[in-house]
Structure formats: C-alpha cells, structure tokens
C-alpha cells in the first residue's frame, strides 16, 4: 500500500474524510444559496463575487449551526459534517447551508443598501 492510500485510509477511519465532504457540501450549497438570493433580490445583490463570498460564509456558518443543534442528525453534533453521510443528513446540510448563505447575503445586501441611501 502506498503512502497516499495510507493517508486516505487514516482520514476515512477517523471520520475526517466524511467531515470534509460535509464541509464541502455546506460551502457549495451556501454559494448557490447566496447567488439565488442575489438573483431574486436584485436591489440587495452584491454582484456574483459578493453573493458567492457571502453565501460561502453563510453556508459554512449555517451548516455548522444546524449540525451543532443536532438538526442534521439525531444527536447534537451529528450529521454530514460529523461523520454521517446518510441521505437525510446530506439533504438537511444542503438545505440548511443554502438558506444560511441566502440569509447572510440578504442581511449584507440590506446593510449595504441602507448605508448607500444615508450617504
């Protein structure tokens, strides 16, 4: 067995591989959620890059928050990010992270718009 396979095997055994996939799902879902929200709310849109960055952060935070609350799995800390890749956890992660990305993009968009009208 080569060195690369040993590393992958170690990650898989420790649940880190599965946790990394959960993080990737959260971040991508957040980016998509931020851009969908930006398309739906043209006045609050931050542009494609801004929507993507806000969605990335919101998706990461949303996925972590839902995972910590136990929404993405049975017990607190369970879920796609904590070592479970069942379909319910994945769908919950996608939905929660997408909504988190959309909410953060909308909040930043509203703040940006209100600052522009004041100045």
Residues 6+ apart with CB under 8 A from 88: none
Query: Measured between alpha carbons, how far is 82 from 89 in angstroms, rounded to an integer?
Result: 10
Domain chopping of the chain, boundaries = 17-118
Crossing angle of helices 47-69/87-118, nearest 10°?
A: 130
Mean residue pLDDT across the chain: 79
Q: Please give the share of the chain, as a percent, with pLDDT higher than 90.
A: 41
Q: How confident is the model at residue 76 (pLDDT cuts 50, 70, 90)?
A: very low
Torsion angle in degrees (nearest 10) through CA of 106, 57, 33, 88: -130
pLDDT greater at residue 117 or residue 54: 54
pLDDT of residue 63: 79
* pTM tops 0.75, yes or no: no
pLDDT of residue 4: 53
């Amino acid at each position: 067995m080569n060195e690369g396979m040993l590393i992958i095997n170690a990650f898989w055994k420790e649940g880190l591989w599965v946790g990394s996939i959960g993080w990737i799902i959260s971040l991508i879902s957040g980016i998509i959620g931020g851009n969908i929200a930006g398309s739906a709310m043209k006045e609050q849109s931050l542009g494609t890059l801004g929507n993507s960055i806000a969605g990335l952060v919101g998706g990461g935070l949303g996925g972590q928050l839902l995972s910590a609350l136990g929404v993405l799995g049975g017990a607190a800390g369970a879920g796609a990010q904590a070592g479970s890749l069942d379909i319910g956890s994945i769908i919950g992660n996608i939905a929660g992270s997408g909504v988190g990305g959309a909410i953060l993009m909308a909040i930043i968009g509203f703040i940006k718009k209100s600052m522009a009208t004041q100045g």
